[in-house]
Amino acid sequence: MTDTTPAPAPAPEQDDNRLIAERRDKLKAIREVQAAGGQVAFPNDFKPDHRAAALIAAHGETEAEALEAQAVTVSVAGRLMLKRVMGKASFATVQDATGRIQLYVTRDAVGEDVYADFKKWDLGDILGAKGTLMKTKTGELSIKVTRIRLLTKSLRPLPDKFHGMQDQETKYRQRYVDLIMDGDARARFTARSRTLSALREFMTAHDFLEVETPMLHPIPGGANAKPFITHHNALEQDMYLRIAPELYLKRLIVGGFERVFEINRSFRNEGISVRHNPEFTMMEFYAAYWNYQDLMDYTEQLMRDLAQKTTGSQQLSYAGKPVDLAQPFKRMTIREAIAAHTEAGAGADDRDWLIAALRKLGLTEEKDRLSTRSLPSLQVMYFEEEVEAKLWEPTFIMEHPTEISPLARANDARPEVTERFELYMTGREMANGFSELNDAEDQAARFQAQVNAKDSGDDEAMFYDADFVRALEYGMPPTGGCGIGIDRFMMLLTDSASIRDVILFPALRHTGD
């Protein structure tokens, strides 16, 4: 009896391998033909004079008859995204960095040999085309092609044009394909570029000098974080990828630059989440004769300006909820935030109550050393567990404990807390700033306390930086400094759920591919 069971459909990987093999065969044939004619398979002498978006903006509303009378000659280049072959005439859509435009390709206009080649080209190939603008019967702006060339042969098939890339991790791993297929992804990273340009513009307009400081540090400093360690062979010493540029920027304040900023890549050897990437971008700025109140005023202005220039509005939406940057940002102490957003009541000022509450929330003595912490430190931990996620509208949280703020100036009236703030939006920290500690002797003592904490097992505690203390001994003017997380702020500006959505190439586990 004959088996009539249909053969199983090929797996996607098998199908891709077959298509790749077919494309390699096409490329081989192209190489042979081009070599015989003294040409190359990957030419680099085509120069497009026009972009899709500019052509559509300039001529998209022109009537067909008027457009024909103008006989506008153009040349474009881009990736072949759609193709519809109809005998002696075909339509194709190419995509450049600005958008898409349709080509009308006929055998009579380009020649029989070129047209035959065109019909063999695949989606994903990169083309160059010249011709005149026209309108189709449906009113779509198109180019009536007179010359067309294959510039780059694509060996791998693009994802299905209707569904694109469905797997989110594949989008992160193969961002180049994500950008080809997803206009929203291109728009998101274009917005990031606009934001950084606006950031530089705002800072320089306020007399800040952009500087560059080292990314390889002999001593990690500027934040409480676990660093990445590498080794410099010629110097025969371990080096650390910077966790923050702070201590170098403050050295510049000592040196006489009164306002400096750096848009920097920093690295922290910590966990990965929707809000954390081990390599991230932040902007730190320092201004002599400012304190933390001045910093809050300025940061508020800056973020409004960036939102306006990037999105066109200061009223944003994130995850379906409004975020209003136009209204004055709230300002609360940690204690006030606990009172406003929890039922802690008098327990917020009771060490025993806070320790018991934190244990109920899953914190432990072994990991978090609850019994050794001061009341302000326990309040911070309780705030982070119970309040942080509730701070949706922009809110400055002030007065962080001195024991966990080793670089910040202590409050003159309450030395157990500092003149420090963290800015929260959408339940996430966006910025951290404070009046800088410029007392060299106090800084030396704070560093020593950090060394003691490190010796007790805190691998995020700071090292003792003798050269920074030496710099302070020359005298640093009263200064305010702030760091803003660019990636998290871009999540807000682009309404992105994960930090990986706003980093072109986020950190991922290596698969060996």
pLDDT for 457 equals 79
pLDDT for 1 equals 46
- CA dist list (Å): 463 to 204, 292, 404, 456, 482: 33, 25, 14, 13, 21
Q: For the chain, which domains are there?
A: 19-152 (2.40.50.140), 181-329+393-501 (3.30.930.10)
For 98-149, the pLDDT digits (tens) are 999 999 999 999 999 999 999 999 999 999 999 999 999 999 999 999 999 9
pLDDT higher than 50, residue 336: yes
Q: What is the rounded average pLDDT of the residues 489-495? A: 98
Q: What is the rounded average pLDDT of the residues 377-393? A: 95
Q: What is the rounded average pLDDT of the residues 258-271? A: 95
Q: In whole angstroms, what separates CA 167 from the centre of its chain?
A: 20
pLDDT for 10 equals 55
For 460-485, the pLDDT digits (tens) are 788 899 999 999 999 999 999 999 99
pLDDT higher than 80, residue 13: no
C-alpha 430/C-alpha 221 separation (Å) is 20
pLDDT for 167 equals 86
Q: What is the rounded average pLDDT of the residues 440-460? A: 88
For 31-70, the pLDDT digits (tens) are 999 888 888 999 999 999 999 999 999 999 999 999 999 9
| Residue 422 counted as an annotated binding residue | yes
pLDDT higher than 80, residue 284: yes
Question: Pseudo-torsion of CA 59, 61, 63, 67, nearest 10°?
Answer: 0
Q: Residue 28 corresponds to which amino acid?
A: K
Angle between helices 334-341 and 375-386 (to 10 degrees): 40
C-alpha 475/C-alpha 57 separation (Å) is 57
Question: CB under 8 Å to 422, separation ≥6 — which residues?
Answer: 396, 397, 400, 429, 431, 432
Q: Give the sheet arrangement for strand 330-333, strand by strand.
A: 209-210, 259-267, 279-288, 479-485, 428-435, 420-425, 395-398, 330-333
Question: Per the structure block, which two tokens stand in for 75?
Answer: 């040349």
End-to-end CA distance of the chain: give it in Å, rounded: 45
For residue 456, name the pLDDT band (cuts at 50, 70, 90).
Answer: confident
Q: Cβ(310)–Cβ(194) under 8 Å?
A: yes
Least confident range from 2-16, 194-208, 364-378, 431-445: namely 2-16
pLDDT for 3 equals 52
pLDDT higher than 80, residue 351: yes
Question: CB under 8 Å to 10, separation ≥6 — which residues?
Answer: 18
With 0.75 as the threshold, say if the pTM is over it.
Answer: yes
